[in-house]
C-alpha cells in the first residue's frame, strides 16, 4: 500500500463552523495522521499523511467539509519538510 502526504489550504466559510473538529474526526476514522489549523486569513490549513486512498478521501472531504461550511476552493500542495506526525491533532 503506498503512502501519501499532502498540504492543503481550504477557502470559503470554513472558520466558526466546526471545520477543524470535523476534519479531525474524519481523519481519525480514515486512519490519516497530521494536523489542521485556522489561519489568520480566515482559511483552514491541514497536513494529511497515510495510505494514499485515505489521504485522497480526506482531500475530497475538504471540498465540502462539515454541514455549515461553504468551501469555495481547496489548494493541494506538496507538503513542507517536517517530521512524520503521530495521530491527528487540531493546532491553535
Kindly state whether residue 87 falls inside one of the protein's structural domains.
no
Tally the domains of the chain.
1
Distance CA 52, CA 29 (A): 15
Kindly state whether residue 85 falls inside one of the protein's structural domains.
no
Q: What is the pLDDT of residue 84?
A: 72
Domain residue limits at 59? 3-79
Burial of 20 per CB tally in 10 Å (0-12, 13-18, 19+): buried
**Cα angle 62-8-26, degrees, rounded to a multiple of 5:** 40
Burial of 3 per CB tally in 10 Å (0-12, 13-18, 19+): exposed
Kindly state whether residue 91 falls inside one of the protein's structural domains.
no
Mean pLDDT score across all residues of the chain: 94
Which residues are marked as active site? 20, 38
Length of the chain: 92
Does 81 have pLDDT greater than 90? no
Q: What is the pLDDT of residue 45?
A: 97
CATH number for the domain that contains residue 12: 3.30.70.100
Q: What is the pLDDT of residue 17?
A: 97
- E strands, 14-62, in order: 33-38, 44-51
Amino acid at each position: 500500500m503506498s503512502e501519501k502526504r499532502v498540504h492543503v489550504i481550504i477557502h470559503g466559510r470554513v472558520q466558526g463552523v466546526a471545520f477543524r473538529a470535523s476534519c479531525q474526526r474524519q481523519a481519525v476514522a480514515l486512519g490519516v495522521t497530521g494536523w489542521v489549523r485556522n489561519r489568520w486569513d480566515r482559511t483552514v490549513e491541514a497536513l494529511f499523511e497515510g495510505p494514499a486512498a485515505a489521504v485522497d478521501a480526506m482531500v475530497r472531504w475538504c471540498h465540502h467539509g462539515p454541514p455549515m461550511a461553504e468551501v469555495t476552493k481547496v489548494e493541494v500542495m506538496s507538503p513542507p519538510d517536517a517530521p512524520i506526525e503521530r495521530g491527528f491533532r487540531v493546532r491553535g
